[in-house]
Amino acid sequence: MATLVFLEHHGDELLKTSLAVLSKAATLGDDDLSGVVVGANVRALADGAGKYGAKKVYVADDAQLEAPLPQPRVDVLAQLVRDKGIDTVLFANSVLAADVAAGLAARLDAGLNWDLVDLTQENGKLVGKRPALQDSVYADVGWTSEPRLALFRSGSFDPSESGGSAEVEELQVSLEDFSTSARMVDQAHEESSGPSIEDADVIVAGGRGLGGPENFTLVEELAKALGGAVAATRAVVDAGWYPYATQVGQTGKTVSPKLYIACGISGAIQHKVGMQASGVIVAINKDANAPIFEFSDLGVVGDVHEIVPKLTELVRARQTS
């Protein structure tokens, strides 16, 4: 087996989700496990990947690769697959990675399994696990040809530092004419403070039970006191109360913080699948029969407008004492 993991970066850091997929690949016992970093001025990022299990890291470092556009990355990966005999390419889901994976599948006429949450070796064959029927069942999926491509749902694995150092090989970048015809005109960053929901150890999530967008200050204050991030349900995102980037669940993000506090959230299956891997789940809901209590470690039956400010006060008091 010769596995390659697409190591995406933002700024001068490799994404935790990519390192998590690399860590997972390292558990499958591939002696030929490699990663690839693509961008401009990214050589220094390659050294960090060895710790997560890569034996080799390929670096495509070129000014033409600075903008996060998919087709130039497809060129780099297609060339690597052909030249180095790569038989498996793994991606952690992101807007860019999904585009690159789809483009690579088209370019190489390869099979891409999408939205996987696990990967195992069974009788010498790779088997992916894919949620289906609104995440109520898992289907085993495979590949009938090589190279095998797989895109993993974010939050499916944790990065783990099990390896040593990786050999770094710089690649000669040669791009197709059609790959350079798209140009990035502008790139804007959403203003935010505190950790992102993918990285946060603590998440305070708000649902329709908050009663209105103005009451999100309650969860924001609690999240701030705990040094955590704010998340939301689809119901409140659809209502325009909070941004989609914070949506947890089947059609949002999958998160696994140490602590997840659900405020005024019913606990629908589509929300549950995005947060059930959290370490400790605390639910505050005025309805004692709300489904969320069935999978919470700690439940508070009460009004979020009373409980949440008191909890914030207590956390702050504990911190100053």
Q: For strands 34-39 and 3-6, give the pairing.
A: parallel
| Complex with ligand FAD: residue 200 or 290, whichever CB lies closer | 290
Interaction of residue 270 with ligand FAD, rule CB under 6 A = yes
d(CA 209, CA 251): 20
State in angstroms the smallest separation of the CB of 132 from ligand FAD. 12
Q: In the set 68, 155, 249, 257, which binds ligand FAD (CB under 6 A)? A: 249
State in angstroms the smallest separation of the CB of 290 from ligand FAD. 4
| Complex with ligand FAD: residue 129 or 305, whichever CB lies closer | 305
Structure tokens that stand for 59 in this block = 């670096």
**Contacts with ligand FAD, 274-293, as mask; x by CB under 6 A:** x---------xxxx--x---
| Complex with ligand FAD: residue 48 or 207, whichever CB lies closer | 207
Paired residues of 248 in beta bridges: 253
| Complex with ligand FAD: residue 6 or 241, whichever CB lies closer | 241
| Complex with ligand FAD: residue 111 or 309, whichever CB lies closer | 309
Q: In the set 60, 222, 304, 311, which binds ligand FAD (CB under 6 A)? A: 304
d(CA 196, CA 268): 23
Count of residues touching ligand FAD (by CB under 6 A): 29
| Complex with ligand FAD: residue 239 or 314, whichever CB lies closer | 239
What sign for the dihedral angle of Cα 62, 64, 69, 74? Answer: negative
Of 217, 218, 222, 228, nearest in space to 193 by CA: 228
Interaction of residue 266 with ligand FAD, rule CB under 6 A = yes
Interaction of residue 59 with ligand FAD, rule CB under 6 A = no
> For binding to ligand FAD (CB under 6 A), which residues are involved?
134, 207-209, 233-236, 247-252, 264-266, 268, 270-271, 274, 284-287, 290, 303-305
